[in-house]
Structure 1
Amino acid sequence: MFAGKTILALITARGGSKGLPGKNIRPLLGKPLIAWTIEQALDCPYLDRVVVSTDDREIAETARGFGAEVPFLRPPELATDEAKSIDVVLHALDYFAQQNDEYDYLVLLQPTSPLRRKEDIGRALELLIRNAARADSLVSVGEISHGHPAMVQKIDDEGLLQPFLGQRITALRRQDLSPAYVPYGVVFISKVDKLKLLKTFYQEKTLPYVIQRWQHYEIDDIYDFTVTEAILKQRLEGNHEFSG
């Protein structure tokens, strides 16, 4: 609880993964991938409950072993490649509502984004709740360092490069462009009533939580996994370049 508000943390982790099979329980520096996110959540004093939503019994057993709650198994239709993340979130909220267990805020944490600083979850909650009069949700974002939208190209039907956004650029320097941001799975937060109504974390009144450059990785394949593992190793060894 923070500022009198009840807060549910939900970690979503399905069993199927085509890019990296079994990734949610794949060992990452000696611990299952999902364990990093569970421990980060349990370390935040503001969270009333830390719950994992999964369809997979092995993931459920692993999650419980690291201290998370797994009060239900997600139905198969919410564990396919086509299933939407928001439907998984709403399923969990509906489950708790049926138990007469309501929350003011929901924090969505993706186990494929383990590069969180110890303070990230708490700081993000403080930022949103202290600004509750002007914002209803929060999304973690990182500034684009490569591939700015203004520079993105597409290949047309004749095999020629064309500006993706429709405006051709000429000798444009990255330093001359306005900052652009991409969302990452470090933390998503929303007021529960707004989440149920709008069915998205990207609402009209959404705050950004800007993360560091070294946090710009989400594990979808072996390349992401390898980079993330190297960064975590550097942080554990106290490399100051990864301590910001």
Structure 2
Amino acid sequence: MNIVAIIPARGGSKGLKRKNVLPLNGKPLIAYSIEAALKLNDVKRVIVSTDDEEIADIAKEYGAEVPFLRPEYLASDTATTIDVLKHTIEFLLEAEGYKTDHVLLLQPTSPLRNERHVREALDLYLGNQCPVVSVCLADTPPFLMRVKKENYLVPFMELPEQKATRRQDLPEVYELNGAIYLTDHHHLMNENAIYTDKVIPYVMDKRSSVDIDDEIDFKLAEVLLKDGAV
């Protein structure tokens, strides 16, 4: 079984400039994802897909492979993660004859996701032979959200059963936290998706689910890391 970890990290970012290489608690942000992947014996290769020379140099320094620099059309704001993953898989096959059976996608913006989380998600994946994605409990259930319609607020989503008056009576809902995705060659290359009709959730706590998009997220992650959150 051939599992390859792919860490996509382009140089441009709008919310927080150069975030993938910014020093977080003593090391570049991207280093946390590389180190988590390298500690897993099941993962045969850890590859960083980037268009940026500095990111490439840092990735190599921390032990990842950077077999190519991502082409410009995959470094834009409109490029999708699926396209980046497929490009990596196709490159490995065409340039090296290396076939990837399973893919572990780790976003570099989740530094509090560590090897224990990835190991547990990987065990779920291997035990069920079904795509796995990491999630956390949603802060606000959609049943409490409102949309504006003709100047009035109306429910975004009606409760599937009788109306509940207390938050604790509402169904638990989850949101993707962007930390871990596990899938196979078929879903990526043939379905053009990480998962289709079935996917298994790996539930993470809120602290470990911090996803860095802006400066506030970055400062929060730094505080939690110093506090020993993981």
Shorter-normalised TM range: over 0.9
RMSD: 1.7
Query: 1: CA distance between counterparts of 2:123 and 2:189?
Result: 22
d(CA) in 2 for partners of 1:163 and 1:44?
Answer: 45
Q: Which residue among 152, 157, 166 is the counterpart of 1:165?
A: 157
More displaced 10-residue stretch of structure 1: 45-54 or 197-206 = 197-206
Q: 1:238 is matched with which residue? A: none
Shift of 1:226: 0.8
| 1:141 correspondence with 2:135 | yes
Q: Are the counterparts in 2 of residues 150 and 165 from structure 1 also a CA contact under 8 Å?
A: yes
- DSSP-derived class of the 1:11 partner: strand
Counterpart for residue 49 of structure 1 = 45
Q: Which residue of 2 aligns with 1:152?
A: 145
Deviation digits for residues 177-214 of structure 1, max 9, x if unmatched?
11100011221000112221111123212111111121
Q: What are the Cα deviations for residues 85-118 of structure 1, in whole angstroms up to 9, with x where unaligned? A: 1111111011012121012210000000111133
> Is 1:35 matched up with 2:35?
no
How far is the alpha carbon of 1:55 from its aligned partner?
0.5
- The 5-angstrom pairing of residues 188-227 of structure 1 reads 188-227=181-220
Q: Given that residues 46 and 122 in structure 1 are in contact (C-alpha distance below 8 angstroms), is that contact kept between their aligned partners in structure 2?
A: no
Match of 1:239 in 2: none
1: CA distance, partners of 2:39 / 2:92: 23
Secondary structure at 2:42 match in 1? coil
Structure 1 residue 170 displacement after superposition: 6.7
Shift of 1:171: 6.5
- Structure 2: distance between partners of 1:174 and 1:14: 40
Count of aligned positions: 228
Contact 2:33/2:114 (8 A) holds in 1: no
CA–CA separation in structure 2 for the residues paired with 1:14 and 1:95: 17
TM-score between the two structures when normalised by the length of structure 1: 0.89
Q: Secondary structure of the equivalent of 2:182? A: strand
In structure 2, the residue matched to 1:131 is 128
Unaligned runs of 5+ in 1: 236-241
Moved more, 118-127 or 92-101: 118-127
Equivalents in 1 of 2:50, 2:90: separation in Å? 15
Q: In 2, Cα distance between the equivalents of 1:202 and 1:156?
A: 34
1:156: Cα distance to partner? 2.5
CA distance in 2 between partners of 1:18 and 1:143 (Å) = 26
Counterpart-to-counterpart distance in 1, 2:61 and 2:42:
22
Equivalent residue for 1:15?
A: 11
Q: Distance in 2 between matches of 1:31 and 1:206?
A: 33
Post-superposition shift, 1:166?
A: 5.3
- Alignment partner of 1:161: what SS? strand
Distance 1:157 1:27 in 2: 47
1:64 is aligned to 2:57: no
Task: Check whether the contact 1:12–1:53 (CA below 8 A) recurs between aligned residues.
Answer: yes
**Structure 1 residues 175 and 93: CA distance shift in structure 2, 3 A:** same
User: How far apart are the structure 1 equivalents of 2:2 and 2:163?
Assistant: 52
Equivalent of residue 187 in structure 1, options 180, 193, 214: 180
Per the normalisation by structure 2, the TM-score is 0.94
